[in-house]
């Protein structure tokens, strides 16, 4: 009788443990994949600041650069797999409140941001997979053209100009929120590491979040201008946003510092892959 009762329970516990393990692996590999993308973003932006490459690039531009490397297809496949896992984890965080943010206004805002993050990284993963499917087409449509096409499609919708303005405000809010996180967030509470290790990792997070926020602000401004002027040509890519930073007074130095911050954010992603507290929700 004991065996008859315990066997189904044992199978249920085993299934639950396997799902929890799968989610943890998906999240950790995803944090590493995100880290790799941001290290690439920062490295190319730094080269642009030093006039060693024509211009900074966005995430898709980084993937296209990697695709041209020897064994680039393997690297892109690994990054795509990691980003898919990260997108899944983001949606789990948002839907099941895996990080226990609660039902407060702030909690719902954080979870909405996680859902948006899941959509963004899911889209980036799809772009990476497209590079694998149509390898010969890499580089035919640049990021700026893609941004124009997306903006044009939105402007064709009813009240499309207002939607673009709203999207720009959301992006601005995201950028400001990242800067605020860099200044005020206690990142150590997210990590499972000793005090000495955390003391080395946390500065990467602070600098990285602030840099990512500053680099995102021009992108939001582009979308708002595109909506106000009802012109898709005003929309720009993330690489263009970094170029705007470089065009400011002392822009080369500013872009170099932002680039270093993006690399720091990427390195923090690698640290999260090892030390992040990941708690699969009990609701699953």
Query: In degrees rounded to 5, what are phi and psi of residue 243?
Result: -65, -35
Mean pLDDT, the chain, whole residue set: 83
Residue 227 and residue 157: Cα distance in Å, rounded? 12
Q: In percent, how much of the chain has pLDDT > 70?
A: 87
Over residues 236-257, the mean pLDDT reads 80
In this predicted model, which residue has the larger pLDDT, 9 or 235? 235
Better-scored residue on pLDDT, 89 or 61: 89
Section 63-67 average pLDDT? 84
Q: What is the pLDDT of residue 135?
A: 44
| Interacting residues of 213 by C-beta distance below 8 A, sequence separation 6+ | 174, 175, 176, 177, 178, 179, 180, 181, 182
Query: What's the pLDDT score for residue 269?
Result: 95
Per-residue confidence (pLDDT) for residue 9, from 0 to 100: 62
Tell me the whole-structure pTM to 2 decimals: 0.84
Instruction: Yes or no: say if 33 and 90 are a contact pair by the CB < 8 Å rule.
Output: no
pLDDT number for residue 50: 85
Residue 133: what pLDDT? Answer: 63
Question: With bands split at pLDDT 50, 70 and 90, how would you rate the model's confidence at 203?
Answer: very high
């Amino acid at each position: 009788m004991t065996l008859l009762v315990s066997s189904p329970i044992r199978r249920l516990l085993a299934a639950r443990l396997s799902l929890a393990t799968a989610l943890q692996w998906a999240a950790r590999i995803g944090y590493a994949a995100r880290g790799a993308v941001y290290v690439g973003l920062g490295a190319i932006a730094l080269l642009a600041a030093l006039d060693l490459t024509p211009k900074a690039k966005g995430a898709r531009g980084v993937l296209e650069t990697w695709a041209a490397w020897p064994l680039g297809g393997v690297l892109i496949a690994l990054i795509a797999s990691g980003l898919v896992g990260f997108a899944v984890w983001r949606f789990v965080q948002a839907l099941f409140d895996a990080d226990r943010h609660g039902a407060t206004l702030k909690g719902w805002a954080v979870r909405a941001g996680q859902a948006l993050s899941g959509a963004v990284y899911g889209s980036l993963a799809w772009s990476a997979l497209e590079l694998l499917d149509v390898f010969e087409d890499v580089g035919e449509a640049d990021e700026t053209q893609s941004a124009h096409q997306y903006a044009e499609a939105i402007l064709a919708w009813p009240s499309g100009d207002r939607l673009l303005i709203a999207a720009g405000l959301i992006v601005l809010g995201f950028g400001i929120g990242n800067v605020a996180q860099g200044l005020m967030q206690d990142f150590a509470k997210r990590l499972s590491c000793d005090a000495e290790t955390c003391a080395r990792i946390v500065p990467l997070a602070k600098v990285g979040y602030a840099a990512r926020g500053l680099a995102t602000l021009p992108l939001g401004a582009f979308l708002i201008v595109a909506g106000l002027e009802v012109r898709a040509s005003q929309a720009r890519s993330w690489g263009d946003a970094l170029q705007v930073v470089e065009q400011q007074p002392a822009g080369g130095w500013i872009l170099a510092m932002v680039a270093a911050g993006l690399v720091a954010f990427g390195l923090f992603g690698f640290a999260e892959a090892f030390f992040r507290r990941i708690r699969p929700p009990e609701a699953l």
